[in-house]
Amino acid sequence: MAKGIFKFLQQSIKSIGSDDPQWIKQEREPQFKTVELGKAGPDMVLLHGLFGALSNWDTVQPLMAEYAKPIALSLPLLAGHRSEVKVKSLALYTEYFVRSREFAPVTLCGNSLGGHVALRLCLAAPELVDCLILTATSGLYEHSVDSLPVRPGYDFVNEHMRKVFFNQEFVTEEAIGEIVKILENKSNVLNLIHAARSAKKDNLKDLLGQIKVPTLLLWGEDDLVTTMEVAEMFHKLIPNSELISIKNCGHAPMIEHPEWFSAEVKKFLAKHSRHALA
């Protein structure tokens, strides 16, 4: 691990009150899995949610690549040690990535848990962040999955996915099967429970006033997980924020309405980013 970055991380640990993730205790550089597109414009780090993956950005990322350099980062929710999957630990993981790649100031774009991670990173090290794009973000209140059945199978995943998407065409047998396979591993289930519980406990209501960077809130009006009431609360509590919503959309706007999502991000960055668009 680069000593300079490690010193910055220690400052963030003190700032957010986090226990050291295992990779920091061992002074071991974390491994990063990414999908990177775009040749010009501002750097953007895309952060997925609890049951998410890099594939969540498959449709919208190429559209963003027309004006920016979007980098989808895989959060270590399954492979990480229990100490590494909590919200604050994931923020440290993302901070190391941003510092090691010298992206700062960078735009962070997060969905659900990924938005929560982005907020935590911005609170710990605001100098690293250019703009925030938050969509269906946790951190205030959500109908979360912090308790899973002993053996979460097809029925559980099917029901959960139908709550996530307004357009049920996105609830495919293939998508359900992928998550069911993940949940067959007991350690994966335990990690997801730890991550969900940490998000539920980490309420940011009293801290959001400290977020000073330009913040775009993109919300589905039919989100059953983080409702529009939650969106309005984020908008009220984050000083320099703008809320834009879309009808017929659930908890993953970047999947259900990628063209709208990308266009709104482009307009926002053109107005607020310190970096010129491509």
Number of neighbours of residue 172 by Cβ within 10 angstroms: 11
Sign of the torsion angle spanned by Cα atoms 187, 193, 194, 199:
positive
What tens digit of pLDDT does each residue of 206-249 get?
999 999 999 999 999 999 999 999 999 999 999 999 999 999 99
What tens digit of pLDDT does each residue of 42-54 get?
999 999 999 899 9
Going by pLDDT thresholds of 50, 70 and 90, the confidence category of residue 164 is very high
User: Which helix or strand (DSSP H or E) is residue 73 part of?
Assistant: strand 69-73
**Per the structure block, which two tokens stand in for 167?**
């357009």
**CB 81, CB 19: distance < 8 Å:** no
pLDDT of residue 16: 78
pLDDT exceeds 70 at position 142: no
Going by pLDDT thresholds of 50, 70 and 90, the confidence category of residue 20 is confident
- Euclidean distance between CA atoms 48 and 101, whole angstroms: 19
pLDDT of residue 169: 96
Q: Going by DSSP bridges, is the β-strand pair 69-73/43-47 parallel, antiparallel, or unpaired?
A: parallel
